[in-house]
Amino acid sequence: MPNTLSPTTIFNPTPGWYAGDFHAHTNFSDGVLSPDELVALAQAEGLDFLAITDHNAIGALSAFETSPPRPIVRGIEITLQIGHFNVFGVDSWPDWLAEMLPGETWRERERDWRDSSRMMAMCKAEGWLVSINHPLLTPWEWQDAGTLLSHLDALEIWNDPTWGDNAWANPAAVAYWTRLLNAGYRITALGGSDYHFTNQEPGPYQPRLGLPRTYVYAEQLSAAAILEAVRKQRAYMTMGPTLRFEAQMQDVIHGIGSDLGAVAGELTLTAEASLPHGDGRIQIIKNGEIIAVERGSDGRITVQRQSQLDPAETAWFRCDALDAEGHFLAVSNPIFTGPHLPPAPHTFGEFLADI
Ligand SMILES: [Zn+2]
Ligand SMILES: [Zn+2]
């Protein structure tokens, strides 16, 4: 294994926002590009890191001919007939997984392992992060209504926006995730291009590696630090515009993913985004409701809002940027305030009504 595949290899020691893609396939499952070609494309697209998530396969991670020049988040897209979930941080292929996903085939498992909760629990016991992919995109939507939400570290709310049905499925996933946040779950929203192709697909379908891209605030540029940032919800997804979302209390500025705890006082929330084409808006959300909105055209838009914190009230704040037609351009993970109340145990199906 090239040493740059080690999760602790540091490519940049500086803390900061790093851009990447959490969902991509190579020719070790049903992708077209080799691992080296995919990483070269990620570099050409300006990504700082890339997760490789082949269907039921990990072979790409030991097939590099040259050492990747960027951190590779080692993943698998566990691909079942009842849906797909990514695991991140995979550095082994344990016997139990080999039994579940025998052979080299990447195809969906048809009969067994319908108890996805048990499988997720085993993945988490390995120290991997668990993230359900394209949760509402038919025919690959998550179909195990009984999955315990406590198993989820993350949710892919933003899958390949160039795929037609994602025009509905991605906003629906944002709405679904919003319900989970309101119920007290701190599940990190992620984006993934689900890239399978070359840079030039014939026809109108033009997927692109890094669309959407997910920025994470990592203590350094390494695969381990990227996953630590995901655990802490220090992430936002974007079609291109960079986003700034901060909460200031007295002289301290708290970024995306922060938890201020049960404090009293005035909080100043600031959201800022660039809108590259035409009109649009940026909005701040509190507990699922819009509390501030600002419209604008080309250039950066800033919106600011004060909020009086009640130390007894649990709240979360998020910001979204949308284009003139109301399509999401960027979505942040939350900033939390108030007591952290562990949610009651819920299943995936309990929040699906009328989505
Ligand atoms: Zn999938
Ligand atoms: Zn995929």
**Ligand 2 midpoint to CA 25 (Å):** 6
**Ligand 2 midpoint to CA 28 (Å):** 12
Q: Where are the alpha helices (DSSP H) in 81-165?
A: 95-100, 116-125
Given a cut of 70, is residue 344 above it in pLDDT? yes
Given a cut of 80, is residue 288 above it in pLDDT? yes
**Ligand 2 midpoint to CA 37 (Å):** 17
Average pLDDT, the chain: 92
Question: What residues sit around ligand 1, an ion, with C-beta below 5 angstroms?
Answer: 84, 133
**Ligand 2 midpoint to CA 14 (Å):** 31
**Ligand 1 midpoint to CA 258 (Å):** 30
pTM, entire model? 0.95
User: What was the pLDDT predicted at 111?
Assistant: 46
Nearest ligand by distance to the CA of 76: 2
User: What was the pLDDT predicted at 113?
Assistant: 55
Residue the block writes with tokens 């499952």 = 29
**Ligand 2 midpoint to CA 319 (Å):** 27
**Ligand 2 midpoint to CA 327 (Å):** 23
**Ligand 1 midpoint to CA 136 (Å):** 11
Where residue 281 falls among pLDDT bands split at 50, 70, 90?
very high
224: which 2 tokens? 């381990």
**Ligand 2 midpoint to CA 23 (Å):** 6
Percentage of the chain lying above the pLDDT 70 cut: 93
* Residues pairing with 269 in the sheet: 247, 305
Of the ranges 25-39, 103-117, 223-237, 279-293, which one carries the lowest mean pLDDT score?
103-117
Residue the block writes with tokens 């025998």 = 102
Nearest ligand by distance to the CA of 133: 1
**Ligand 2 midpoint to CA 218 (Å):** 24
* Residues pairing with 271 in the sheet: 245, 303
**Ligand 2 midpoint to CA 320 (Å):** 25
Nearest ligand by distance to the CA of 85: 1
**Ligand 2 midpoint to CA 133 (Å):** 8
Question: What residues sit around ligand 2, an ion, with C-beta below 5 angstroms?
Answer: 77, 194
What spatial distance separates the first Cα and last Cα of the chain, rounded to whole Å? 44
Given a cut of 90, is residue 282 above it in pLDDT? yes
**Ligand 1 midpoint to CA 140 (Å):** 7
Where residue 276 falls among pLDDT bands split at 50, 70, 90?
confident
Contact yes or no for 235/241 (Cβ under 8 A):
no
Q: Which residue has the higher pLDDT, 331 or 92?
A: 331
Where residue 300 falls among pLDDT bands split at 50, 70, 90?
confident
Nearest ligand by distance to the CA of 29: 2
Quick one: 103 exposed, middle or buried, by C-beta within 10 A (0-12, 13-18, 19+)? exposed
Given a cut of 80, is residue 123 above it in pLDDT? yes
**Ligand 1 midpoint to CA 179 (Å):** 23
Contact yes or no for 236/330 (Cβ under 8 A):
yes
**Ligand 1 midpoint to CA 285 (Å):** 29
Q: What is the chain's alpha carbon radius of gyration, rounded to the nearest angstrom?
A: 20
179: which 2 tokens? 């319900």
Q: Minimal CA–CA distance to 97: which of 83, 81, 118? A: 118
